Chains A and B, each alone.
Chain A
Amino acid sequence: MDEKAQGRFKPLPSSETELVVRASRGDGEAFAALVEPYQKRLYNLAFRMTGHREEAADLVQDALLRAYTSLKSFRAQAAFGTWLYKVATNVCLDALRRRKRQPEISAKPPVGGEGQGEDPSPAWERRQIIQKAVTGLPPELRAAVVLRDIQGFAYEEIAVILGLTPENVKTRIHRGRALLRQRFLELELLPSVEGRTASK
């Protein structure tokens, strides 16, 4: 977790600045080079938010297009990565609000994604259950939990991405974790209070 959080958003390097300027003038190749380092993380964010591999890829594409066409709204004083994550998170939240249904977890491991080339194993099934519990959270709580506990962002960064105060971010994360904990207890992924007491 700490390793994930280290050095995620640094000040805009000069090369990145140049790419931003070129991209804002309509240089698509510069924009592609600019976002390339973030694509995998954006995909993971979208995948954990939706639980769908194809939908995650589509959402990342939508996020990149929205970022490209609205690059003029980006200000150099903010980290480009933070701004890009903000765009992507908003795209995911918009899609989830439109969808308003529970995601379907495929019965087999997704091709090219998590568990590629493997048969459904107990570990894979366990991860699917955890993912399903995550995607069962309300979108706003889900975004906060995914950004913090899976993506490893700091509270301040999450506050910028979600447009909230750090205190509100903590509240959402707390509520999301509480719901998840309850769900994990029901699924017996976590030991119950009685079990923990007995083990002690």
Chain B
Amino acid sequence: MNHPWETEDFQGTIALLGELPEVEPPAEAASAWRLAIAAAPIPRPSFHLASLATWPGSPRFKAAAAGVAAVLVLGIIGSALQPARLPSAGPSGTGAVRYGPAEIAAPARTTQKTVNQGLMRLSPTAGQSSPNAGAPSAVQTQSQVAGRDIIQTANLNLQVANVQVAFQKAQSLAAGDGGYVSDSSFSRDVSGDVANLTLMVPTKSLDTVLARLSALGTVTAESRGGNDITQQYVDTQTQLADLQAEAARYRQFLAQAKSVSDMLKIEDQLAQVTDRINTLTAELNSLNQQVTLASINLTLTVPTGTPATIPAGGLAGALGAALLSSLRALAAFARAVLVGLAWASPFIVLGGAGYGGYRLLRKIRRQR
């Protein structure tokens, strides 16, 4: 509606503009626009009020709601069961929790208990094994909780009498459970041998392998961690599904294309989408592998100073520790001598042969 002030002077002008009719878009324009929209990059979803009306139907909303509900339920169950399941501390109040035979013999049972517990317990106390070593340990955890995708990691420090032997046993243990050694190092200094291994084992066997590794020596430190990648996994899956749907639409458009230029454009877009699909598929595979395999960082050392295996306190204990330390040093010296002899043996043989030949020549000359 025109205001009186504007029509007075410009009535004729407005009338002339009103003569311009409404025009129809070109016949092919609508299909071109639709094609362009289909080929456009997918806008990133964003939150706005209008989306609330349909959010409950979205896969992300369902996944997030299910995740929150699962965490809440597990948290409630865990907090209800946790006090009764916590093991009693050892006599000293500190001490490394050692996996007892029960855990080794029945890994499935311990895993189930941890699922019920619902919470991950980390880093046990230091020292010797608990008196009730056969009871369920507080260090147990679950490999997967109620469909969550969790990357499991564990750190284990062991004091062992012989690092090399323990090193080989750890390798065998990982291989026996379908795992492998992804990284390893071995060093020797004045304080003794040190070995570091990174073992990759099936997540479902993590508890079992840890228990068996712990039996190789004295646990001085242990920790476990988990990285929940459920949301990342769901996001990647959603993006992949979107891209696959987009690719299907492109193929549909490709079948309906009426010109070569349209086909080329569609094929270009399809190639880009396919590349992104391949990338996301590889990412999903990688996530799957990370969830399937847990990593264990194992450190093997020889006891130093006052060995943790020798009860502290008392003159007898101190003398025993000193004697044991001395014997170990003697053994290490003898071992070093043997190794040195082994290294020098070719030279010794050659030197001996040469000296024997020299003595033989001298004897022959004297006889002449």
Contact = CB atoms under 8 A, between A and B. Distances in A.
Interface of A: 1-2, 5, 12, 14, 17-18, 20-26, 28-29, 31-32, 36, 39-40, 43-44, 47-48, 53-54, 56-57, 60-61, 64-65, 68-72, 74-77, 111-114, 116, 126-127, 130-131, 134, 145, 149-150, 154, 170, 173-174, 177-178, 180-181, 184, 189-191
B361 interface: no
Nearest to B47: A72
A114 B10 contact: no
A12 B50 contact: yes
A23 B242 CA distance: 12
17 contacts: A25-B58, A26-B246, A28-B249, A32-B34, A40-B24, A47-B23, A68-B40, A71-B43, A74-B48, A76-B50, A111-B26, A112-B26, A112-B27, A113-B23, A134-B17, A181-B12, A184-B12
A interface, by DSSP: helix, strand, loop or mixed?
Answer: helix
Given A181-B12, A190-B12, A127 B34 contact: no
Interface of B: 1-2, 6, 9-10, 12-14, 16-27, 29-30, 32-34, 36-38, 40-46, 48-51, 53-54, 58, 242, 246, 249
B20 A72 contact: no
A28 B14 contact: no
A26 B45 contact: yes
Given A26-B42, A69-B40, A134-B17, A20 B25 contact: no
Given A23-B43, A72-B43, A149-B17, 13 more contacts: A1-B14, A12-B50, A17-B50, A24-B45, A29-B38, A29-B249, A43-B25, A54-B26, A60-B33, A72-B46, A126-B19, A154-B1, A177-B14
Nearest to B2: A1
B10 A181 contact: yes
A193 B285 CA distance: 81
Contacts of B249: 28-29
Top 4 A-B residue pairs of the complex, sorted by shortest distance between their CB atoms? A26-B42, A76-B50, A72-B46, A43-B25
A21 B16 contact: no
B45 A25 contact: yes
B46 A130 contact: no
A39 B30 contact: yes
B22 A44 contact: yes
A77 B33 contact: no
A174 B6 contact: yes
Nearest to A73: B46
Contact of B51 (A24, A64, A131): A24
Given A68-B37, A69-B43, A43 B48 contact: no
Contacts of A181: 9-10, 12-13
A105 B24 CA distance: 18
A112 B37 contact: no
B20 A70 contact: no
B14 A40 contact: no
B16 to A, nearest CB: 5
Contact of A31 (B24, B27, B32, B37): B37
B23 A43 contact: yes
Nearest to B45: A25
Among B2, B50, B246, the most chain A Cβ lie within 10 Å of the Cβ of B50
Contacts of B24: 40, 112-113, 116
Contacts of B41: 69
Contacts of A114: 21, 23
A17 B14 CA distance: 36
Nearest to A54: B26
B39 to A, nearest CB: 8
A145 B242 CA distance: 43
A180 B43 contact: no
B45 A72 contact: yes
Given A5-B1, A31-B37, A177-B14, A70 B43 contact: yes
Nearest to A34: B37
Given A39-B33, A40-B25, A190 B16 contact: yes
Contacts of A177: 6, 9-10, 13-14
A11 to B, nearest CB: 11
A48 B19 CA distance: 12
B352 to A, nearest CB: 83
B33 A61 contact: yes
A26 B43 contact: yes
Contact of B16 (A76, A116, A130): A130
A60 B50 CA distance: 25
Among B2, B23, B249, the most chain A Cβ lie within 10 Å of the Cβ of B23
A131 B33 CA distance: 25
Contacts of A56: 25
